[in-house]
Amino acid sequence: MNNLRIAGVSVDYGKGSRAVTVLHEVSLDFPAGHIIGIVGESGSGKSTLARAVAGLVPVRGGQVTVGETTFGPRRSRKDQRRVQMAFQDPSTSLNPRMTVEQTLLDACAGPRSSNAARIDELLAAVGLEQRHRRSLPADLSGGQRQRVSLARALAAEPDVLICDEVTSALDAPTRFAILSLLAELQADHQFTLVFISHDLGAVRQICDDIVVMYAGQVIEVGTVNDVVADPQHPYTRVLLDSVPSLDRRLEIVPVDFEPVDPRNPPSGCRFNPRCPVGPTARDDRAACLTDDPVAGAESRLHRSACHFSPRSSDLDHPRTTTVPASTNRTASAGPGCGAPPPSMGEQGERHVTSA
């Protein structure tokens, strides 16, 4: 069991005078075996953070640590295997000329001859059948390709599995089946699962913790129950208000403003031009234009990056009841999570259109 620690990680795209900082000194710390949902609009930096954790983009500063291992700029093959990633469209990451069996054999450690039984285990773990061994990606549905992608990640026996929008391109029954599968795999294998999604309903369904990102910064962190019940940052409130009901699928929709230009972000609080309770609405909030609230977020409730969120030490008693991680999820999603009846899951997958 290995903790995931992200300490002051920054990422630039481009070099020299053309470099644009898309991730700003992100620090997060999660116990082993948690399921962490990362949400935010397009351009918020959530996928860049995932790629930095997986070692797929170079970091300008900061460190990623899993257990006792702090990864350097060049990860050994063994360290690469410890953090695995699955993507929205598995077609782009699966070799179209390799069968499922070849893909999984490639991903397993050790000699091929000793891995035949391991392939059986992996197929069973992700709900694929023996007949799928000889299938090419093009022969499979979108949901089945996502299962192959997850089996390939499992073959590495990772400490951390990052799923970047893995359910976004799937229809509702298949989405439900894949979410249930992820929850099952995490419970069986006890890896830390980082789940990036536009779908707040899916995050609420399977995650223990939620990280809200905006313009390359973390602006609120807490248990899913705490943040949904009592959001502290105005942006989190806008996100939650932008969806019609917690009983439906909660797609994050861009809220009526241009995204922040990473080449020229607003000074002070990056959310200040959009903030409904910031300087555009109130004369007494000039600090929002000059002081970055991320600097003092550590001491605020839910690490809220807002100057006006309460400090944890100022509260006489907790604002919400923190639910232990193991009871925080609603993995066996019922209709209240907008999920289809379980019986529709596999049946629906046969009708899925390709991602």
Instruction: Round to whole Å and give the CA distance between 289 and 285.
Output: 8
Hey, CA dihedral for 302, 305, 311, 313, is it positive or negative? positive
Smaller CB distance to ligand SF4: residue 68 or 284?
Answer: 284
**What's the closest the beta carbon of residue 285 comes to ligand SF4, in angstroms?**
5
Q: Which of 158, 201, 293, 340 binds ligand SF4 (CB under 6 A)?
A: 293
Q: Which of 47, 48, 217, 272 binds ligand SF4 (CB under 6 A)?
A: 272
Q: Which of 198, 204, 285, 302 binds ligand SF4 (CB under 6 A)?
A: 285
**What's the closest the beta carbon of residue 256 comes to ligand SF4, in angstroms?**
16
Q: Which of 140, 177, 238, 306 binds ligand SF4 (CB under 6 A)?
A: 306
Smaller CB distance to ligand SF4: residue 218 or 269?
Answer: 269
**What's the closest the beta carbon of residue 248 comes to ligand SF4, in angstroms?**
27
Q: Which of 48, 223, 308, 349 binds ligand SF4 (CB under 6 A)?
A: 308
Contact positions with ligand SF4 (CB under 6 A) in 165-204: none
Smaller CB distance to ligand SF4: residue 158 or 234?
Answer: 234
Q: Which of 107, 201, 271, 345 binds ligand SF4 (CB under 6 A)?
A: 271
Instruction: Round to whole Å and give the CA distance between 26 and 45.
Output: 10
Stretch that binds ligand SF4, among 53-61, 166-174, 179-187, 271-279 (CB under 6 A): 271-279
First to last CA, the chain: 33
**What's the closest the beta carbon of residue 214 comes to ligand SF4, in angstroms?**
9
Q: Which of 24, 34, 198, 307 binds ligand SF4 (CB under 6 A)?
A: 307
Residue 234, interface with ligand SF4 (CB under 6 A)? yes
Smaller CB distance to ligand SF4: residue 195 or 235?
Answer: 235
Q: Considering only CA atoms, which of 301, 222, 165, 253 is closest in space to residue 34?
A: 222
**What's the closest the beta carbon of residue 328 comes to ligand SF4, in angstroms?**
26
Cα distances from 47 to residues 24, 236, 239, 263, 327, in angstroms, run 13, 18, 18, 18, 27
Residue 277, interface with ligand SF4 (CB under 6 A)? yes
Residues found near ligand SF4 in the complex (CB under 6 A): 234, 269, 271-272, 275, 277-278, 285, 288, 293, 306-308
